[in-house]
A and B are shown apart, each in its own frame.
Chain A
Amino acid sequence: MTYPYGRDDRVGPPDPRRRFEELYTEHYEAVSGYVRRRTGDPHDVADVIAETFTTAWRRLGDVPSGDRARLWLYGVARRTLANHRRGESRRAALTTRLRTELEEWTGPATEAVPETARAAFMRLSADDREVLSLVAWEGLGNAELAQVLGCSRLAVRQRLHRARKRLATELAADDPDLARYGPRAVRLAKETS
């Protein structure tokens, strides 16, 4: 006897549990990385990850397919982080083991960065830092940024341009030798001054 379909083929919408498992395993690393880079405390990290995926579970029907799911999850994580208060744990019951793992994890050594560069970055507004980080840390392009930030590509370009301009200015404030960040940085900084 032959089956016209594989045994796993199903008619109708996929089982929510299966869909969630796929979503979770495929995007966990991206989402946890996003959260971990923006908040250091292991309890907060665990809580925001759990809250983000709990939202995804509850709103599974709204989660887009393919890579757009990752961008959707970044958007949720971003809002969850913004609403999360330090030390507050709403999802402690879901993350007992995860919290311990995050606490015990010692990451790889980070690259040495001039303290002036870090300070310049930290002087930017949270909005500027976020748009620059999404490009440099999550590797997003303008179209993807537009989806995560919920705005048009045109607006994204403006925000990015302004944020880079302000970063170049901040870098120049501490470091007269701005040329090592490239001619574009020098030009951007001059545009502002």
Chain B
Amino acid sequence: MNPQLDDVVRRLAPPAGPGLTPGARETMYKIMEEEPAPAPALPTRRRRRALLALPAALGALAASLAVVVTLGPASASALDVKDEGGYFVIEVKDMFAKPEEYQQQLRDAGLDIKLRLLPSTPSSVGSVAPSTVEPDGIEVIDRQEGCETAGGCPISIKVRRDFKGSAELVLGREARPGEEYQIITGFDVPGEPMHCAPYYNRPVSEVRALLKDRGVDIQAFDVLGPAFWTKDGKETEPVTKASVPESMHVVGGYLTMAGKAAVQVSDSDLPADLVRTMKEKTGCP
């Protein structure tokens, strides 16, 4: 929380307008009369990847932004679109291209899909941003194991040829040097530097050394409140600090950019059963 800064922004708010006027009601009736009736709800499918089911206790699951698109000149090389037996297989050739370049190429293929690639922690490169839902008819092709470090695996999606809806898709891409990640995953999931590292409930001093061995420095600490793994505990916002006592216990963390981590610390320990669950989910002994 930052009341003073938020207050500066609050005072900049333009007025909100006149509210529900007669004209606004007229618009409501016109929408119902003049626009086609509602379509039935679209079936949606959640991603099944196990790592997404990690306890949210650590809040260490990731992210996307919605898409902002404006039209612009398109280059033909941003995507490679192939028509393969009832599907378009779309490979991202230039992961740093502008969203409108992707959109133009997809539109040329008759698809109303907005694609945006955001810098992401290694394990989420090439995946759909974890909290978003894959629209029915679109599938993100999972990258093979080892792609996190190889850097050479393509990012691809598969779209049913008869896909007629519109969709927005946010995928993780590699970050440029020094670029902050926008899709963030816990640093202990497969493909991340602390996968299977013995860090749960260890003091900051020890975890700092573990991270250093993996070429990662601590950039900040998120101090979590008591019982942070419970529903009520999660309501307490963590406090970000540049330093904390070296004796505080580490309960989680995530990379903020290449070689930099934010570490989640608390005065309370993560309960043993939750540690066990976390290890099982991440496939660690």
Task: State yes or no: do A and B come from one complex.
Answer: yes
Residues of chain A whose beta carbon lies under 8 Å from any beta carbon of chain B: 16-17, 20-21, 24-25, 28-29, 32-33, 35-37, 40, 45-46, 49-50, 53-54, 57-62, 75, 78-79, 82-83, 93-102, 105, 107-108, 110-111, 113, 117-118, 121, 126-127, 132-133, 135-137, 142, 146, 149-159, 161-162, 164, 167-168, 171, 180-182, 184-185, 188, 191
Known: A17-B32, A191-B242. A152 touches B184 (CB 8 A): yes
Is B38 part of the binding interface, using a Cβ–Cβ cutoff of 8 Å? Answer: yes
Interface CB pairs A-B, < 8 A, 20: A32-B16, A32-B24, A33-B17, A53-B27, A62-B41, A94-B31, A100-B23, A102-B18, A107-B17, A113-B12, A117-B11, A137-B10, A149-B66, A150-B64, A152-B61, A152-B63, A154-B254, A158-B180, A180-B4, A181-B5
Would A58 and B21 count as touching, CB distance under 8 A? no
Would A184 and B2 count as touching, CB distance under 8 A? yes
- Chain A residue numbers with a CB within 8 Å of B131 are 146, 150-152
Q: How large is the interface on B (under 10, 10 to 19, 20 to 34, 35 or more residues)?
A: 35 or more
CA–CA, A99 to B22, complex, Å? 11
Name the residue of chain B whose CB is nearest to the CB of A112: B11
Would B182 and A161 count as touching, CB distance under 8 A? no
Would B12 and A53 count as touching, CB distance under 8 A? no
Known: A54-B35, A60-B38, A151-B131. A142 touches B237 (CB 8 A): yes
Known: A28-B24, A49-B27, A79-B66. A108 touches B15 (CB 8 A): yes
Would B34 and A93 count as touching, CB distance under 8 A? yes
CA–CA, A62 to B166, complex, Å? 14
Would B63 and A155 count as touching, CB distance under 8 A? yes
B144 to chain A, nearest CB (A): 25
B129 touches which of A40, A101, A151, A158 (Cβ 8 Å):
A151
- Chain B residue numbers with a CB within 8 Å of A49 are 24, 27
- Chain A residue numbers with a CB within 8 Å of B268 are none
Give 7 closest A-B pairs by Cβ, nearest first. Answer: A155-B63, A61-B41, A182-B4, A107-B15, A33-B16, A151-B63, A97-B23
CA–CA, A54 to B37, complex, Å? 10
